[in-house]
Amino acid sequence: MAAIIWQTPANGPEAKDFVFLNDGGIHSAGKRYVRPYYFEFISHVKNRWAGKAIVDLFTEEFRGRSYEYYESAVKCGRIQVDDKIVPVSYVVRSTQKISHFVHRHEPPVLAGNVSILHIESDVITVCKPASIPVHPCGQYRKNTIIGILQAEHDFAPLFPIHRLDRLVSGLLIFARSADKAEQFRQQIDAGLLNKEYIARVIGIFPEEEQVVDANVNYDAREGRSSVEVVEQMDIALEGKAACTRFLRISTNGTHSVVLCKPVTGRTHQIRVHLQHCGHPIANDDLYLSKTVTPRSARGTGANRTASIHKHQPLLSDSTISENHNPDADHVDFSIDPMCTNCPSLSPKGYGGDEEGLWLHCLRYSGPNWSYECPSPDWAVLS
């Protein structure tokens, strides 16, 4: 095997890093994959890690791999401390540098184009397809809006002015300098921004404007928000104040398209406020009911259509396949003997088909400026 070239966050994505395949799934356009690559994860020993043996530390803090894997990785130098190979019994000290060299596989995203809407000297706006995260997070680094814009258009650095959940589509605004980003931040802090989204929801939404003013409490462990309703004045609320205005645009008797104007910006605010109204987003399996199967028992595919949600049980983690795509056999990448994901293109545990939420960022405006994004096809009711 050729000499390994280890990448770090300093190595930007390139167009050749991406592979487009049609999996034969529900999305005819296929998916955007990232060729697996060698990557150096760098971290520094936190105070609570100090005094732990290196293998125990990784097993306890990074549970995606087994004790046996971490033991082998330390022995062969795939895990190093201060750039040195150490024994498996090595006890780490605070602030030491730890490197974990891995063969990195990123989950695929839907293969929609990231359309450039406006290019100005200090601002770029794009239309974000659903399923692509905005910036590096979790298992995603190159398969992100920022990564794709850098690889395909050489736009870097970019400073996101706001963020959209991975499964949400629509307008994204990027500043092209830290100074411009700071100007936007000051306007956000002053409450000078107006935000407009559209959603396709279950049922006939009321014709008159609906205002939901209810605290939102986000449970990071479950990845889900809930609305807190004041029932007793002497009970303190744990959630954050949240307000959203809703106005029906159209309805066909089964679904409605609703204009959503969040006054605040809490996690999943629009989604949980629409659920609170009795009109959840029509393909949002996370909020189609008041209760939901705990994350530990849910599959990793985030959304299914409402009919699938109602008539099919959710998959448990134990029933999720490794999602080996036969087309991956024809994609040229090195199979790494230490890799726990090879030979698949996508990492193990990826849940397969998913669709974007019927929630779309339509427009942002502020003092003397306004940017907008075309509406998606699902916003037209037949």
Report the CATH number at residue 291: 3.30.2350.10
**Active-site option among 165, 327, 329, 377:** 165
Asked if residue 277 belongs to a domain, the reply is: yes
Backbone phi and psi for residue 150, each to the nearest 5 degrees, phi listed first: -70, -45
Asked if residue 289 belongs to a domain, the reply is: yes
Q: How many folded domains does the chain comprise? A: 1
Question: 373 CB contacts (<8 Å, ≥6 apart)?
Answer: 117, 125, 127, 170, 171, 360, 361, 362, 363
Give percent of the chain above pLDDT 70.
84
**Predicted confidence (pLDDT) at residue 212 exceeds the cutoff of 70:** yes
Q: Are strands 79-81 and 97-104 parallel, antiparallel or unpaired?
A: antiparallel
Q: Is 165 a catalytic residue?
A: yes
Asked if residue 326 belongs to a domain, the reply is: no
Asked if residue 302 belongs to a domain, the reply is: yes
Q: Is the pTM of this model over 0.75?
A: yes
- Find where tokens 């790494």 sit: 336
Helix axes 54-61, 67-75, angle to 10 degrees: 140
Report which of 63, 145, 137 is spatially closest to residue 106, judged by C-alpha positions. Answer: 137
Domain range for 357: 193-315+351-363
What's the one-letter identity of residue 376? P
pLDDT tens digits for range 44-64: 999 999 999 999 999 999 988
Asked if residue 89 belongs to a domain, the reply is: no
Question: 34 CB contacts (<8 Å, ≥6 apart)?
Answer: 17, 18, 19, 105, 106, 108, 142, 143
DSSP H or E run through 109: strand 109-110
**Predicted confidence (pLDDT) at residue 325 exceeds the cutoff of 60:** no
Residue 289 pLDDT level (bands cut at 50, 70, 90): confident
pLDDT of residue 233: 55
Rounded CA-CA distance 74/81 in Å is 9
Asked if residue 134 belongs to a domain, the reply is: no
Say how far residue 345 (Cα) sits from the centre of its chain.
19
pLDDT tens digits for range 73-104: 999 999 999 999 999 999 999 999 999 999 99
CB atoms within 10 A of CB 366: 18
Backbone phi and psi for residue 103, each to the nearest 5 degrees, phi listed first: -90, 105
